[in-house]
Amino acid sequence: MTATENHPNKETVISIRDVKKSFGDYDVLRGADLDLYRGENLVVLGRSGTGKSVLIKIIAGLLTQDSGSVKVLGQAVDEISGKELIKLRLRVGFSFQNSALYDSMTVRKNLEFPLVRNQKNLTKAEINKATESVLDAVGLLQTINQMPSELSGGQRKRIGIARTLILQPEIMLYDEPTAGLDPITCIEINNLINEVKERYKTSSIIITHDLTCAKHVGDRVAMLLDGSFERVGTFEEVFDTDDERVKPFYDYNFID
C-alpha cells in the first residue's frame, strides 16, 4: 500500500511527487507523494503544524515547493504561465481554514465577486441566480444581505465554501472545514461536502483533524507523518496499525 499505487481505471487529477518544502531550517514537507483521483473525496490527516495547509497552498499555487513536482489537471502548477495559472484556478476551488471572507462586502457581494470578475458577459439576472443557487446549496439563503462579521463561524465556513462553488470547480480543496464547530454543524458540513461531490461531480481534498468527518466523507484517507504520506488507504486500512504516531488520533476520537 503506497501513496501512488496504480489504479488503472482511475484518472488522476492531482499528482504530487517527492515534494519538499522548508521554511528557514524547518523542513515541513520532506518528499510527499499523493494522488487524487477523479470523483473521490480524499481526506488528509496530520498533526497541527505538519504542513497540511502548506501542501494545499502549493497545489493552489499560493506557495511554491522547493523541489518535486505538483501536477493539477495535468499541468505543473509552478511552471505554467500566469495566464494558464488563472485558467487553472478557475477549475480548482479553495476553502480557507479561516474562511477568508471579504469583510468589507456583504454575503451577496462576496459570492458574486469571483463571477463578476471572471465572466464579464453575465447578466445581472444570471449572476443573481447563480448566487442564490449556491447559497441555497449551503442552506444560508437568509444571510444574503448580511456582512461577514454578523455571521457565526460555521456560517462563515459555509459561505466560504459557497463562494468557491460558484465557479463550479472540478476540484475542491477544503482546509479544515469542521475545525472549531459544534458536532451538529460538523455533521451539516460533512453532509454538505458529500452533497457537493454528488451535485457538482467534484474531486476533493479535505484536510481535517476530525476523524468522524474523515470517516463520513472520505473515500480514502492519507496521513501526513513527518513530512510525507506514510499511510494512505481506506479509513480502516490507515488505522489498522500500532504506530504510536497514528493510534492516538483514533483513540482520542473513538475511545472514551
Partner 1 sequence: MFLELYRVHQFIKKFFIEAIAPPYEGREILRQCYQVGYKSLALISLTGFITGIVFAKQSRPSLAEFGATSWLPSLVGIALLRTLAPLLTALISAGKVGSSIGAELGSMKVSEQIDAMEVSATNPFKYLVVSRVLATTISIPILTFYTAFVGLLGGFLNITSSESTSFSTYIQTSLESITFLDITSSTIKAIVFGFTIGMVGCYQGYNSSKGTEGVGKAANSAVVIGMFLVFIEEVIATQITFLFRT
Ligand X SMILES: Nc1ncnc2c1ncn2[C@@H]1O[C@H](COP(=O)(O)OP(=O)(O)OP(=O)(O)O)[C@@H](O)[C@H]1O
CB of 42 to Mg ion, least distance (A): 16
The correct pick among 15, 41, 50, 53 for binding Mg ion (CB under 5 A) is 53
Largest CA distance in the chain: 58
* Helix, strand, or coil (residue 110): helix
Nearest to 192, CA basis, from 153, 221, 158: 158
Partner whose footprint covers residue 3, from ligand X, partner 1, Mg ion, none (CB < 5 to 8 Å by kind): none
- Angular region, 22: left φ>0, alpha ψ -120 to 50, beta rest: beta
Binding to partner 1 in span 107-166, by CB under 8 A: 113-114, 117-118, 120, 163-164
The correct pick among 167, 179, 187, 225 for binding partner 1 (CB under 8 A) is 167
The answer to whether 138 touches 195, Cβ cutoff 8 Å, is no
CB of 169 to partner 1, least distance (A): 9
* Helix, strand, or coil (residue 185): helix
Nearest to 101, CA basis, from 116, 111, 92: 111
String marking each residue 35-74 x if it binds ligand X according to CB under 6 A: -----------x-xxxxxxx--------------------
Q: Measured between alpha carbons, how far is 226 from 129 in angstroms, rounded to an integer?
A: 46
How many positions of this chain bind ligand X (CB under 6 A)? 11
Provide the binding-site residues for partner 1, judged by CB under 8 A.
Answer: 57, 60-62, 86-87, 89-90, 92-94, 96, 98, 100-104, 113-114, 117-118, 120, 163-164, 167
